[in-house]
Structure 1
Amino acid sequence: MSGQAQTRRAAIGGAAVSIASASSLATLAAPRVVGAGLETGAIRAIGVETAQIDYQGRRALRATALEKAPGLDRLVMLDTPAFGDGVIEAWISGAPSPTASATARGFVGVAFRVRDEAKLEAIYLRPTNGRADDQLRRNHAVQYISHPDYPWERLRAEAPAKYETYVDLEPGRWTHVRIVVAGAMARLHVDGAQQPTLIVGDLKHGPDTKGAVALWVGPGTLSHFSDVRVTS
């Protein structure tokens, strides 16, 4: 298979997957280029409760943020090969949970190059900001972070508007995201747009880092994920 991209589909929400708890198994399709059979790998939830449900016409993984979670990030770790450069695609949806605070925005996204569950790059959405009446809030609809050293507060303070931007979003609605990672650069494409919504040219962990891929959920969020594809 030399020279051919190897694609693994984390069949989240697919007919072959059964996700009922943090220790559930996900079914991963073998590389699409050969169309072989199925194999299984673990999904592990950190700081979220998970369940498999039908949501707005899709079989989905629901991930609800726990009020008290260890560390900075709430994650659903995917059992994929170490990810450095490649493409991550997913349908995602986020909305504030019923018990969320007034500052909750329905934070939902994807983390990549995850190491030790604490060092990661991530791009996420703030769905309630997408159609806010306040233009400043709209400008904060999409966010890049790099934990542990570069949370959103530091990036916004040191480089205003560089690591976040606007895109049309609605809480609870399915949104398609495509993240293209190459070296120190990541590009986010939203809902099939050919041009990227956000370009990050200086991923903080450097161009050669590799790690896991994870679904990322912010505090006070009820999120859904479907049809996650990781291509290295």
Structure 2
Amino acid sequence: MHGDADVTPYFVSELNSTVQKPGVPVTLSCPAELPWSHISWLFNGRLVEKTSDVDIQPGNLTILSLGLHHAGRYQCMINSSDGSIISTPANVSVAYLGDFDLASRVNVEAEEGSTAIITCGIPPSVPPAQIHYRVRGKWLDKSTDKYFILPSGNLQIVNVTLEDRGPYRCAVYNPVTHERKISPSVYKLAVTGSSHSDFIPVQPVLTHHVSVHLNETVTLECAAGGVSAPHVSLV
């Protein structure tokens, strides 16, 4: 006998969320200070029982083959003579990568010395997809001092020159499913002579709507170019 009824149960850490591709086994380990023999599991607030596709062992819950119906919020619960405590929720998500919209040809115009934005319509992805751009015949998978892949997936080109003219393509890569998809759309950048304006606002091709949970960090993008460093403010 360990006398666990005489000790207040507690968790040593948080239950870890996970994103996995369909069909793989997923094991959640209850972060309880052992030994606790009375551990149960909740799925979206309801008690989980052992089934043909969900195995429950002391301290562990294993999904034998991950499917969409397994995606949701999991918690483990310790029961003792002093009562019950429930862990913080862990989200189990099924990885996937959506498709691009139908092919289109998008024309973008920018002045020499200004900033241009190439807006790629990023398909839905869990986890968020990595964005790549084909620039001057080569695939770019990270930002450089001239080309910035923004959090929205847009490509920002600073100090535009005539050499930046031409077609651009974008692609997405899901690091969990290892899928890679190339957008069927082509983005053609035309470069015009500079008007020597001190401030040139740049408008993205598409409008983006951002939804975040309370207390999460949100990034709002604004691009501008000009001969001197402009002062940019949000209105």
TM-score range, shorter chain: under 0.3
Structure label with greater radius of gyration: 2
Q: TM-score, normalised by structure 2?
A: 0.22
Report the structure, 1 or 2, having the larger strand content: 1
